[in-house]
Amino acid sequence: MPVTPRRALLAYLRLFGVSCLWGGNFVVAKILLRYWPPDRFAGSRIAFAALLLGAVATLHGQRWRLGLRAWGTLAAAGAIGIGLNNALLYGGLRYTSAAHGSLIMALSPVGTAVVLRLWDREPFTPGRILAVVLGAVGAAIVILPARGGVRPFAAGGGDIAVFGAMLCSSISFLFLKRGLETVDPASATAVTLAAGALVLVPPSVGEHMAAGSGLGWVLALLAISAVFSMGLGMLWWNAGVAVVGATRTVIFNDVVPAITLILGAVVLHAPITPRDVLGFVLIAGAIVCTVSPHRGWRRPDREGPLLPNTTI
């Protein structure tokens, strides 16, 4: 189907909506983590999304005969990029702000470029070198203490844990990239989510919610987060890739931390500091440098599928 201006505009509006959903999810996570331990929160949310996407894929005719290699590759991607990723992400969010978590996770495209250079020997353009420098400086501004000394874990370790989650997301792309060579994105997403849930759910057995927390509204907020942030978000994201291409789609990663900064200030009354703003500007610049074309580059007729970040 040809890409008309109307289809392109609708795709961009949906991608902006996905960015708002994902940016708001960091704020939702901060609220829910007051009542649920990180493993139980992440495991329940991901298991719910895995069942939902698995059912949808089955209804669309997926017979799940993927082959041993595809199962193993996608399971590794899910265990690292979703299981370990979410354990570090939501564990870290208990000790850092939603804004810091969103800013650090926004570095994922930069981390992926570095990982692909180290393992797949993909070319490192001047733009990507600049992206690494900007991203490193931006992350340092967000993570390091404002004054001398080393922050205790409760103050700075949360940022370090989220940075580890970002690295897990980048490393998992190596496996995901290979898995997507033979498996469609929707089925691959369902398999990786299931693998991630298998990593997260067993450690959460025996964990209890905080006393006095109303189970009803917590479960409702959890279900809304899973359905809209992961389900609807993935649908709109993949639709955007099909219409405007992966390179233009990734730019919307810049919007996520901006939305988190604004909603965090409004809902959580978290102050927006000059360091947060400077970190956002540098990290946004790093993402743009990572995905911007270099000299001699031409947009291919078809771009490969770009799976969304399933940690949000």
pLDDT digits (tens, 9 = 90+) for 34-52: 877 877 778 888 888 788 7
At 255 the pLDDT is 86
At 168 the pLDDT is 92
At 297 the pLDDT is 36
Residue 161's pLDDT band (cuts 50, 70, 90):
very high
| Average pLDDT, integer, range 115-142 | 81
At 141 the pLDDT is 84
At 244 the pLDDT is 77
Task: Judge whether 277 lies within some domain.
Answer: yes
Helix residue ranges per DSSP H, 227-273: 233-244, 246-250, 255-267
Contact 105, 86 (CB under 8 A): no
d(Cα 155, Cα 119) in Å, to the nearest integer? 33
pLDDT at residue 137 tops 80: yes
| Average pLDDT, integer, range 138-156 | 62
Task: Report the SS3 class of residue 210.
Answer: coil
At 309 the pLDDT is 53
pLDDT at residue 73 tops 80: yes
Task: Judge whether 83 lies within some domain.
Answer: yes
Q: What global pTM score does this model have?
A: 0.78
**Location of structure tokens 């990290």:** 283
Cα angle 221, 225, 230 (rounded to 5 degrees) comes to: 165
Mean residue pLDDT across the chain? 78
Domain count, the chain: 1
**Location of structure tokens 């570090």:** 88
At 214 the pLDDT is 57
158: Cβ contacts below 8 Å, ≥ 6 apart: 91, 92, 93, 94, 95, 96, 100, 101
At 301 the pLDDT is 40
Task: Judge whether 300 lies within some domain.
Answer: no
Task: Judge whether 230 lies within some domain.
Answer: yes
pLDDT at residue 64 tops 50: yes
Task: Judge whether 296 lies within some domain.
Answer: no
Task: Judge whether 28 lies within some domain.
Answer: yes
134: Cβ contacts below 8 Å, ≥ 6 apart: 282, 283, 285, 286, 289
pLDDT at residue 123 tops 80: no
Range of the domain at 71: 5-291
How many other CB atoms sit within 10 Å of the CB of residue 205? 9
At 275 the pLDDT is 86
Task: Judge whether 54 lies within some domain.
Answer: yes
pLDDT at residue 307 tops 50: no
Higher pLDDT: 4 or 98? It is 98
At 163 the pLDDT is 92
Residue 95's pLDDT band (cuts 50, 70, 90):
confident
Contact 86, 196 (CB under 8 A): yes
DSSP characters for 113-169?
HHHHHHHH-----HHHHHHHHHHHHHHHHHHS-SSSS---IIIIIHHHHHHHHHHHH
Q: What is the pLDDT of residues 278-302, one digit of tens each?
A: 989 998 888 778 766 544 334 444 4
